[in-house]
Amino acid sequence: MFVLEFSPSRRAARLVVAWLRRVDPLDWSSLAAQLAPRSPCARRAYAARPRPPAARFPCCFCNARAAEGKVYAAQGCMLLGCCHFQQDTNEATTQLTTQNAPHPLSTMSSPQLGAAQAKDEPPPEFLCPITLDLMRDPVTAPTGITYDRGAITSWLLACGQRTCPMTHAELRADDLVPNHTLRRLIHGWCASATNRSSSGVVRVVPAATPEEAAVAEVDDATRAGDAERCAAAARWVRRLASLSERNRARLASAGAARTLATAFASFAEVVGTSDEVLDFVLAAMVPLMPMDEEAIVSIGSSSPSMARLVFFAAANGNNKQRRLQAVVVIRDIISLSFHRYAASAIIDLSENIDGIVQVLVKTIREAVCPQATRACLVAAYHLAYADKSFAASLAAAGLVPSLVELLVDADRSTAEKALAALDAALSCGEGRASARANALAVPVLVKKFFCVSDVATELVLSALLQICKRCPEDGDEVATATTRTARRLAIIEAMEVGALQKVILVLQAGYRQETKEKATELLRLMVRYQGRVECVDTMDLRGIKRGTTILTT
């Protein structure tokens, strides 16, 4: 054993620190072996010498590392496993004793020592101070102590603690930082332990990824019914999802969408659950869109969940992000409900359909944000296309005027979705009556001919045909003189704004046969009024081929 005695002065301490800095801590064990007494008699005599009481202090090397701002300096010699001070109370001298025991990290870092000193038990630095088990997802607190994420999260959230278990300093769940270096060392030790399994070493389960740990934390909090813990875990999931596409893929493979949907449905059914908790869960679900069918069924089949979504989407105020998240989830639920027969029998929206209709129309009218508007347009299209009773409800709520106003200066994507929703809403008598009564409906539709896309042109043609023609589904509406007058005025107005020439161009362009049949039918309705009113501008006939046949029978 090598002993160095010196006077406890600052100059001596600086000299010792300068000497210690030249020594690699990973080679400390080999250095101690060289400096230890070699004679067996000398060793026995040195071991039997009388020793005064001793107290452990951080060594000079650890103090030097602390001066450099290293977070692991607080653990002192326990982390390095190299040396400690002993203070002689009788002789007022300080002894620096170098131990001969190698540190586990130095053993792993040196291939020669690691092969000779391999241990069956994991190093103590790999164990969580709370559970004393091998850490699966090590995280470091601001105090410098490393814990397993599951254990420290349970300590902070489930147990309601607000301090670090080791230092008793104030600690929050958001302050934990992943320790990737220690995690790689644990992975390496697990791999080496697996390779030595034939020698009697127990195979160690590989450490879980942060994404898997986050999803497991949400699931555990949901099962325990701990809303605060679930909110913290949902914030964790959202933070991981916002980092990279790779993290989102890992979360999806870990079943994050299903777990979050189950959590939302579970806490929505609990009376008195804070909206803030559901808001965090909802915010974590949106980055994982599109959700799988199981997740959508989990949240859509719960009537309280749909009621909470409708409440979030209809809430007034400055929280536009919450409204966007709610309507995006509603869009996915409606899309699955009415276009996949396997889920249509499971998801029943009848209890909340009135609220959903009002929310969709309100969001389109208020133009909360482009993403929310497009999501509501898709949901309205699926609702109106699935059932004419839903189309009538949408028309009664004022969908048609809102769509017409939206089409005036909409971009291409929004215009296509708005035209699709309008065409679906015109499938009922209420929708057609609302369009005929709107002074902007026909002019705006005619203006969108050939201005957006081929798909938009087909939708414009279909919408104009439904406004102008007599539909068998109208019933008693057709028999009234007011309805006949409204249809006639709609046809004349369409011709006045140039619909006749554009319909002829559709016939000459390379559109589908179904589209050309609709154009022919609309053209037959228009030629009946061609001689009654001057509605053709010769400048609008440019580009039309001569010899175009118009059937009037």
Per-residue pLDDT of the chain (553 residues; tens, 9 = 90+): 333 433 344 444 444 444 444 444 444 344 344 444 445 554 555 455 444 333 333 333 333 333 334 333 333 333 333 333 333 333 333 333 333 344 444 444 444 334 434 456 788 888 999 888 888 888 899 989 999 887 887 788 767 788 898 898 988 877 888 888 888 888 888 877 665 554 444 444 455 678 888 888 898 889 888 888 899 999 999 998 988 888 888 888 888 999 999 999 999 888 777 788 899 999 999 888 888 888 888 888 888 889 999 998 888 766 788 889 899 999 988 888 776 544 445 677 778 888 999 999 999 998 888 899 999 999 999 999 888 888 999 999 999 999 999 998 888 999 999 999 999 999 888 888 888 888 889 999 998 888 888 888 899 999 999 988 877 665 554 446 677 788 888 888 888 888 888 888 888 887 888 888 888 888 888 888 776 655 554 444 444 444 444 443 3
Nearest alpha-carbon partner for 413 in 379, 362, 370, 446: 370
Q: What counts of helices (H) and strands (E) characterise the chain?
A: 30, 6
**Per-residue pLDDT, 526:** 85
Q: Are 218 and 230 in contact (CB under 8 A)?
A: yes
Q: Are 458 and 466 in contact (CB under 8 A)?
A: no
Nearest alpha-carbon partner for 383 in 337, 415, 430: 337
Q: Are 238 and 208 in contact (CB under 8 A)?
A: no
Nearest alpha-carbon partner for 149 in 191, 125, 179: 179
CA distances from 10 to 2, 93, 379 (A): 22, 14, 76
Cα separation, 32 vs 37, whole angstroms: 10
CA distances from 106 to 19, 33, 145, 253 (A): 20, 15, 20, 37
Cα separation, 99 vs 79, whole angstroms: 14
Q: How far apart are the first and last CA of the chain?
A: 115
Q: Using only C-alpha atoms, what is the Rg of the chain?
A: 38
**Per-residue pLDDT, 82:** 35
Strand pairing partners for 6?
A: 94
Look at phi and psi of residue 160 and say left if phi exceeds 0, alpha if psi is from -120 to 50, else beta.
Answer: left
Cα separation, 28 vs 97, whole angstroms: 12
> Is the link from the previous residue into 122 a cis peptide, with omega within 30 of 0?
no
Which residue in this structure is represented by tokens 């040195």? Answer: 46
Strand pairing partners for 138?
A: 148
Beta-carbon-side half-sphere exposure of residue 252 (alpha carbons within 13 Å): 14
Look at phi and psi of residue 95 and say left if phi exceeds 0, alpha if psi is from -120 to 50, else beta.
Answer: beta
SS3 of 374, please?
Answer: helix
Q: Are 518 and 464 in contact (CB under 8 A)?
A: no
Which pairing describes strands 3-6 and 93-98: parallel, antiparallel, or unpaired?
antiparallel
Which residue in this structure is represented by tokens 């020698």? Answer: 199
Nearest alpha-carbon partner for 426 in 399, 405, 408: 399
The sign of the dihedral angle between the CA atoms of 47, 51, 57, 63 is negative
Strand pairing partners for 98?
A: 83
Cα separation, 545 vs 53, whole angstroms: 111
In DSSP notation, 41-88 reads HHHHHHHTS----------HHHHHHHHTT-GGGGGTHHHH-SEEEEEE
Global pTM value: 0.61
The number of beta carbons lying within 10 Å of the beta carbon of residue 162 is: 11
Amino acid (1-letter code) at residue 83: C
Cα separation, 118 vs 107, whole angstroms: 8
